[in-house]
Amino acid sequence: MPDGRTAGPARAFELLEPLVRAATVRVHAPPGGYDNPGNDWTGPTWGSGFFIAPGWVLTCAHVVGEGGAAMRLAGREVGISFSSGPGPGTGSGPPGSRADAGIGTVTGRVECVLPERLEERRPGRRALWDLPDLALVRVLSPISHACVWLTDRAGPRLEEAAYFGCTEELGIREITGRTTRLRGTAAGGAAIRLGDEDEIEAGMSGGPVVDLARGEVVGVVKARRHGGGGGLAVSVAQLRTLPMAATGQTGLYRRVMQAHDLYHYDRHVSDLDSRRTWTDVHDELAAADGDRYGGRGRLTPGERTTLCGLLAELPPPGSSEAVRELAEQARGEEPDTALPAPLSWRDGLGLLHDPPGAGGEAAAMLRYATDVSVADHREPPAPGADEELWDWVRATAERLWRPLRRELGERHERGLAEREQRRRAAVGRAAHGPVRRDRGLPTGPSVLLEVWAHGWEDVYDWRVSVLAGPARPGRVTPVDAGVRETLAALPEALRAPLAEGFRRCDTHESAALLEVAAAPELFGLAVDAWTVSGGVPVGVQRPVVFRLPPAGAGEAAGPRWTRVQAGPLLDQRADCSRGRPRSPSPEWPAGLADNTVPVLCRAPAAEPTLGALHVLRDAGYGVVVCRRPPADPGASCAPYHRGVREELAEAGRGAVLPLRVQALRGRAYGADPDAYWAAGLALVWEDPARALPEDEPLQGDL
């Protein structure tokens, strides 16, 4: 029975508008930059853009080319004003207005433009820029924001649509949307023609175009027609033309799309808030869209989001031909070869819509996912990632036809057998050249910083020393010491003593290790972010680890340390379960394998993390991963745990972890969005060969 609400495109617009507006941004001069020395809302608007993944904004090249015709586009800094927060934004007006709530401004750097020749050949004023006229902007700060859902189709359907961008139509600068219809394609599918139902304003260039029937972004607003409504948009499939990476590297397109899928997957499985997600809206849109197979011909929106997330957990495909071949086997016919090449596992799903024969999209996508789970990846997947994908396929197939379930099981067994045959045939020959074994820590002297609190007072004593290292165990050379410093004053008080310690220990080959011995309550100290010399954080210049003295308990420390150093490494959440806090029992660590690296994700000084640190110390775990509290306590911890798991799997053995954590800090300091999950990452490293001084209160009961 009708419920009295609007339906069709009007209802879809109502559902999608908050999500799209929350992810759409205003592009302008950088804050305090050459064109805009003051407030970010007072300068001119260059255009619009939208977040497609955490830390990545998609816009038009001609938008970032505003205000400086002689400047290079790639590497140029721009201002990004956005709705802050992980969900739909609450405002988009100038400061002081009611619409200002939740607005933030950050600096972004243009990572690349398409086509690349725009750097040498730009059009004249008011002339159309060459297609695809796209720019990818990397945000230079870790921020909380919403992202759109991008289509996986290489070509758009000619359906009802909406486009969004920054407008000043009524004298108010805001993000607005208008409805239209997609009228066709041009330039071999690179451009999409927008209907003339409404007018595109100048500031809307670079904004998203949304397919209202499927709830996915299909294009980027490029140009408006002179003297009338409507205009042109660029297909988001043109992102696949981003420059390819060097051999052995992942590539920018695959990195961004992986981050896109993991963002939506994490939002879908999280129960930390009740805000509507893109998957929730897709559910409502799907309810109004008929399925000739009675609901079994297509995956549900939740299943699609989960599948994309599980595919993103795997290493990227070795080639686009590998994706196309698997899609052809799953679809039952050759995909259209005129479409842009599929570069990611997700792109392969886009080739499986509306397949021929019986079964529909769901069957084709499950066949495809089964084949991906047993494929030969260009690098080993994270432990259990391929098995998790197959487990999901098997569970999802339970609601479909029994013959399909049997077919998928046989397909999986056959794929495993063929993969094993290929691996046996490859034994003895190097598939990717000689294996390079990552180096571990230098065995020379290290700098030791000891910090302890004065009872219930908020002041701290400290001491800086030089540990001679395994070659001369037990030898400690004092550098300097101080008493009763406040927490805020510690970085400045320790600048000169640490610099002296580093001068004593550093060699021409490597920077010395900094070891921080402190009670677990002080593991939140941001020592890695302190600066000693050159303005570069200490944690970027050298490896930094925390020490967790065993306090007399920890008989298993020796065997566990040796096993972790040799690898392979297993990760285990110690203080949370699916984002919810939990306190491990004293018996819990005894059931873990000796090569386990416990992972903590909450505030070190608060329960249950503090209790977990004590339990792990007493059980003799010498290597533990932890972090400082994140800036947004409501943010999902899934990206952090996923990043740690992948890092441990790639490291292979514990000996290289301090240097790998240092490299992560360097990537985050260099504004790499793929490393933002590692903000505040810390490593507990209780090396038996580097004994701590015993004349220290930290060795007593905690």
Residue 176 belongs to a domain with what CATH number?
2.40.10.120
Q: What three-state secondary structure class fits 586?
A: coil
Q: Which domain holds residue 483?
A: 441-550
Does one domain contain both 514 and 601? Answer: no
Which pLDDT band, with edges at 50, 70 and 90, does 358 fall under? low
Token digits of residue 409: 């099981």
Which pLDDT band, with edges at 50, 70 and 90, does 199 fall under? confident
Distance, in Å, from the CA atom of 150 to the CA atom of 261, rounded to the nearest integer, reads 9
468 vs 171 pLDDT, higher one: 468
| Listed range (77-86, 98-107, 404-413) with the worst mean pLDDT | 98-107
Does one domain contain both 303 and 409? Answer: yes
Q: What three-state secondary structure class fits 151?
A: coil
Distance, in Å, from the CA atom of 98 to the CA atom of 92, rounded to the nearest integer, reads 9
Q: Is the pLDDT of residue 121 over 90?
A: no
499 vs 244 pLDDT, higher one: 499
Distances in whole angstroms, Cα of residue 11 to Cα of each of 2, 17, 212, 288: 13, 10, 9, 10
- pLDDT (0 to 100) of residue 410: 93
Distance, in Å, from the CA atom of 130 to the CA atom of 145, rounded to the nearest integer, reads 30
Q: Which residues of 177-195 are buried (b: 16+ CB within 10 A; e: fewer)?
A: bbbbbbeebeeebbbbbbb
> Is residue 398 situated within a structural domain?
yes
Does one domain contain both 375 and 466? Answer: no
Which pLDDT band, with edges at 50, 70 and 90, does 102 fall under? low
Q: Is the pLDDT of residue 265 over 90?
A: yes
Q: Is the pLDDT of residue 48 over 70?
A: yes
Does one domain contain both 269 and 223? Answer: no
Average pLDDT value for residue range 600-619: 79
Does one domain contain both 496 and 563? Answer: no
**Number of Cβ within a 10 Å radius of residue 299:** 23
- pLDDT (0 to 100) of residue 426: 66
Alpha helix ranges (H) inside 51-201: 61-64
Token digits of residue 674: 């793929």
Does one domain contain both 417 and 470? Answer: no
* Residues ≥6 apart with Cβ < 8 Å to 426: none
- pLDDT (0 to 100) of residue 312: 94
Q: What's CA 499's distance to the chain center, in Å? A: 34
Which pLDDT band, with edges at 50, 70 and 90, does 92 fall under? very low
Does one domain contain both 598 and 660? Answer: yes
What is the pLDDT of the chain when averaged over all its residues? 83
As beta bridge partners, residue 186 has 191
Distance, in Å, from the CA atom of 537 to the CA atom of 546, rounded to the nearest integer, reads 16
Residue where a domain terminates, one of 507, 534, 550: 550
Which pLDDT band, with edges at 50, 70 and 90, does 559 fall under? confident
Report which DSSP code applies to 150: B
| Listed range (2-6, 65-69, 463-467) with the worst mean pLDDT | 2-6
- Say if strands 544-547 and 514-518 run parallel, antiparallel, or are unpaired: parallel
- pLDDT (0 to 100) of residue 42: 57
Is 279:302 a contact under the CB 8 Å cutoff?
yes
> Is residue 1 situated within a structural domain?
no
Q: What three-state secondary structure class fits 380?
A: coil
- pLDDT (0 to 100) of residue 496: 84
- pLDDT (0 to 100) of residue 216: 95
338 vs 322 pLDDT, higher one: 322
Q: Maximum Cα–Cα distance for the chain, whole Å?
A: 83
| Listed range (124-138, 163-177, 687-701) with the worst mean pLDDT | 687-701
* Residues ≥6 apart with Cβ < 8 Å to 696: 450, 452, 517
6 vs 681 pLDDT, higher one: 681
Does one domain contain both 213 and 291? Answer: no
As beta bridge partners, residue 78 has 108
Is 202:53 a contact under the CB 8 Å cutoff?
no
Number of independent structural domains in the chain: 4
Strands (E), 574-678: 576-577, 580-581, 596-599, 623-627
Q: Which of 275, 221, 213, 215 is nearest to 16 (CA)?
A: 215
Does one domain contain both 543 and 673? Answer: no
Does one domain contain both 616 and 677? Answer: yes
Which pLDDT band, with edges at 50, 70 and 90, does 18 fall under? very high
Does one domain contain both 522 and 563? Answer: no
Average pLDDT value for residue range 537-563: 76
Q: Which residues of 84-97 are buried (b: 16+ CB within 10 A; e: fewer)?
A: bbbbbbbbbbbeee
Q: Is the pLDDT of residue 437 over 50?
A: no
| Listed range (162-171, 355-364, 458-467, 523-532) with the worst mean pLDDT | 355-364
Average pLDDT value for residue range 122-147: 87
Token digits of residue 91: 């405002």
Residue 475 belongs to a domain with what CATH number?
3.30.420
247 vs 643 pLDDT, higher one: 643
- pLDDT (0 to 100) of residue 264: 96
Does one domain contain both 482 and 531? Answer: yes
Average pLDDT value for residue range 640-655: 91
365 vs 101 pLDDT, higher one: 365
% of residues, the chain, pLDDT over 90: 39
pLDDT tens-place string over residues 476-531: 888 899 998 988 899 989 988 898 888 888 877 788 899 999 887 788 889 999 98
